[in-house]
Structure 1
Amino acid sequence: MNRGSNTMLFNFKLFSKVYYALLLLFLNIVGGAVGFVIIEGYDWIDAFYQTIITISTVGFGEVHQFTPTGKLFVSVLIITSFGTFAYAVTSITSYIVSGDYRQYFKDYRTMKEITELQDHVIVCGYGRVGKQAVATLVAHHKNFVVIEQKEEIIEGFREKPEFLYLQGNATSDDTLIAAGIKNAKAIITTLPSDSENLFVVLTARELNKQLTIISRASAFSSIRKLKIAGANNVIMPDSLGGSHMAQLVTNPDVLEFIDQISIQGENVINLEEIDFKELPEDRKYKSLADLREQFPFCNIIGFKNKEGEYIINPGLSTEIVPGSKLFVLGNPEQIKNLNKQLRITKS
């Protein structure tokens, strides 16, 4: 099932009452026309015309005089069509008055925006952890799509025009494809069950080999399985929370100082990562000493080499090569000036 068919199914749910009402009306018209052709010998034009004036009860009269059998058929047709016609009118009126059509167009616009996304983030699940992930993505102005099954949460999303959402099961290939996983930059799966997260990781890795996959885990035994399945990072929120609380006892000042190094939003970033690919051409293949001379107001506190190894307080002779990253510390104004001078635009 492709993305277009997912959109059709997504919209059918909203139009279902109207569709069923129109289908019943159509079947009534067809049944009436066939009956007049068989019982009264009408041609198809006269049969259709007689059916319409009968079920609409306009009272124009018969095309031809009815036989006794024909009169009995017309009586049954009037009784059945009256209920069907009333149901159709009620359903359509209810759809318009209740505002369901506005919901349809809003959901359709959302689906259209999702199909146009590139390098976005997919968040699976909008529970406690999912909400925190989304809040950080919003603070950093990142494009994202939330996949959620619960109807009450989806209703809340419809009141937030800045949220792109998809109602469905995140473990389904079709749902992930509809969320644009083939064009996505990363996926964050925060489902409550480790088995569900494992299934999402396996599916996501199969659909997009270059995708960055971050998964939640509840048990230590799940971490290794999730990484084997293809997760780049596995986070245990409960474990992190407990460790943080204990550190406030053992090293309170150190932890409070670290908490001051904020990466929570565009205007309060103190710690920035700079990828080799983001640097201008004239700054690539330089040593850290060259950059430090040009930008003495920021401290390069970490380096990730092309092998993926992290180096704390790297030496000034370290060369910036493809696949490497810099970790720079400064106050928000210094970080902003650094990005400006390096001509780096954070999306």
Structure 2
Amino acid sequence: MIKLFRSKIYLALFLMSFVLTFGVLGYRFISDYDWIDAFYMTIITVTTVGFSEVRPLDTESKIFTVFLIISSVFIFAFAISVVTEYILSRNSLQLLKKKKVKNKISKLSNHVIVCGFGRNGQQSSERLTAYKKPFVVIEKDKEVIERFENDLLFVEGDANDDDVLHEAGIAKAQFLITALPDDAANLFVVLSARQMNKDLFIISRASLATSQKKLVLAGANKVIMPDKIGGDHMASLVVMPDLITFMDKLSIEGEHTTNLEEVAIEDFADQVECNSLRDLDLRRKTGCTIIGYIAPDGTYIINPEADLRLQPKSKVIVLGRPEQIRKLNEMFHIV
């Protein structure tokens, strides 16, 4: 549809240019005006402003003027209608797009809200997309939204605005990632989000170490400092490069790479008797290896023993290649 409007606009511009050129040449050679007077006569004729002629017109010039007026009226009317149609249709398309996005967001639950689509926000969105986790991005830069709106769900506005958070479905959201560049802005988002959803798991970005404690007090469950993580990562590559490179590959999606997954014990409970890790026997069934256990109280156990007793509401950390993870998910119907 946009291509059709574009072709019509090009046609209208061509016809208007043709009429102006035709008028100038006609007055120059039929009425014997100089170029300035010919251009002046053409403009006052096609715009029908009613100014007087430069000098009285002869019969041929009058006939030419009548023809120029009639043709210009139709052509300029066509051009105005094309521009008006394009503007109205563009507004209608934008309204339809926003309504469609709003309907999609209203159907989401247990989704993620990403506040800010800068470097950290984009990186978060890429990882969420890779793991097929539904999410909504809040961004106030209209140009950024127009660039990515065909691939992602956006809510245009300031994340500090409660109405914008509500539009992003914060009441039904499970996680919120606030990745705004300003710590104060992130602090306000955390405060607002915590008031609107007490059960929300909030992850906030921080630039300054002094902001970390404030964000936690405001209600953030986790505070991430990208600069600190980046510095630690670079230093670790110097001290133990192979180990860090291997750890990086654990989180990379690919055909021949490894992957990590966390699975709730409840996902196994209805299908197998799982009193201990040995009962799960995931290594033989799927090829995946259990490398960690998270107790209900949040205690982490690395490389747990096979006889470890499993508790309700606990989780296991599973290591495997993507195809092994897929086999695990399919076998136990894990979403």
Same fold (TM over 0.5): yes
Q: Report the alpha carbon displacement of residue 276 of structure 1 after superposing the two structures with TM.
A: 2.4
**Are 1:114 and 2:75 an aligned pair?**
no
- Rg (Cα) greater in structure: 2
* Deviation, structure 1 residue 215: 0.7
Q: 1:91 to 1:267 in 2, by over 3 A?
A: farther
Residues of 1 paired with 2:273 and 2:136: CA distance? Answer: 34
Kept after mapping to 2: 8 A contact 1:136/1:265: no
Q: Once the two structures are superposed, what CA deviation does each residue of 1:154-183 show, in whole Å capped at 9, x if it has no partner?
A: 22234xx33111111101111101110001
In the alignment, structure 1 segments of 5+ residues that lack a partner are: 1-85
Aligned with residue 189 of structure 2, among 200, 209, 212? 200
- The higher relative CO (CA closer than 8 Å, separation ≥ 6) is in 1
Query: Using the alignment, how far apart are the partners of 2:176 and 2:111 within structure 1?
Result: 9
- Secondary structure at 2:158's aligned position in 1? coil
Alpha carbons 2:265, 2:315 under 8 Å: kept: yes
For 2:141, give the aligned amino acid: K
2:224 alignment partner, one of 203, 211, 235: 235
Which residue is 1:337 aligned to? 327
Give 1:117's aligned amino acid: L
User: 1:295: Cα distance to partner?
Assistant: 3.5
Q: Any idea what the Cα deviations from partners look like across 1:254-277, whole Å, max 9, x if unmatched?
A: 111212212547996621110123
Alignment partner of 2:308 out of 308, 318, 331: 318
Amino acid corresponding to residue 309 of structure 2 in structure 1:
E
The one-letter amino acid of 2:295's match is: N
- Quote how far apart the aligned CAs of 1:220 are: 1.2
Contact 1:136 1:264 in 2 (8 A): no
After the TM superposition, which segments of 4 or more aligned residues of structure 1 sit over 3 Å from their partners? Answer: 89-92, 94-98, 263-269, 282-285, 293-296
5 Å-filtered alignment, 1:56-71, equals: none
Q: Which residue of 1 aligns with 2:157?
A: 168
8 Å Cα contact 2:258/2:319 also seen in 1: no
Q: Does 1:253 align with 2:210?
A: no
> SS state of the match for residue 214, structure 2?
helix
Q: Indicate the SS of the match to 1:201.
A: helix
Distance in 1 (CA, whole Å) between partners of 2:144 and 2:302 is: 42
Secondary structure, counterpart of 2:216 in structure 1: helix
Aligned residue for 2:317, secondary structure, equals strand
Deviations 1:237-266 (A, max 9, x none): 111111111111001111112122125479
Structure 1: distance between partners of 2:201 and 2:170: 11
CA contact (8 A) 1:276 1:284 kept: no
CA distance in 2, matches of 1:248, 1:318: 34
| Paired residues for 1:28-67 under 5 Å | none
Tell me if 1:275 matches 2:258.
no
Structure 2: segments with no counterpart, 5+ residues: 1-76
Q: Per the alignment, in what secondary structure is the counterpart of residue 171 of structure 2?
A: helix
When residues 280 and 97 of structure 1 are mapped into structure 2, their CA distance, relative to the original with a 3 A threshold, is same
What are the Cα deviations for residues 133-156 of structure 1, in whole angstroms up to 9, with x where unaligned? Answer: 111111122211110111211222
Q: What is the Cα-based RMSD across aligned positions, in Å?
A: 2.5
Per-residue deviation at 1:336? 1.9
Give the Cα–Cα distance (whole angstroms) in 2 for the partners of residues 299 and 282 of structure 1. 19
Instruction: Give the deviation of 1:98 after TM superposition.
Output: 6.3
Provide the rounded CA distance (Å) in 2 between the counterparts of 1:267 and 1:207. 43
The question of whether the paired residues in 2 share the 8 Å contact of 1:275 and 1:324 is answered with yes
TM-score by length of 2: 0.70
Bigger CA drift: 265-274 or 219-228?
265-274
* Gap change, CA 1:171 and 1:91, over 3 Å in 2: farther
Q: Is the 8 A contact 2:271 2:332 kept in 1?
A: no
Q: Distance in 1 between matches of 2:318 and 2:328?
A: 9
Could you tell me how far 1:338 is from its partner in structure 2? 1.9
Partner-residue secondary structure (3-state), 2:113 = strand
What is the alpha-carbon distance in structure 1 between the residues aligned to residue 286 and residue 84 of structure 2? 69
Counterpart in the other structure of 1:60: none
**Displacement of 1:325 after TM fit?**
0.8
1:182 counterpart SS class: coil
Which amino acid letter does the alignment assign opposite residue 307 of structure 2? S
Provide the residue aligned with 2:96 in structure 1. Answer: 105
* TM-score, with length taken from structure 1: 0.68
Tell me if structure 1 keeps the 8 A contact 2:112–2:133: yes
| In 2, Cα distance between equivalents of 1:267 and 1:344 | 22
CA shift in 2, pair 1:290/1:222, >3 Å: same
User: Using the alignment, how far apart are the partners of 1:119 and 1:324 within structure 2?
Assistant: 19
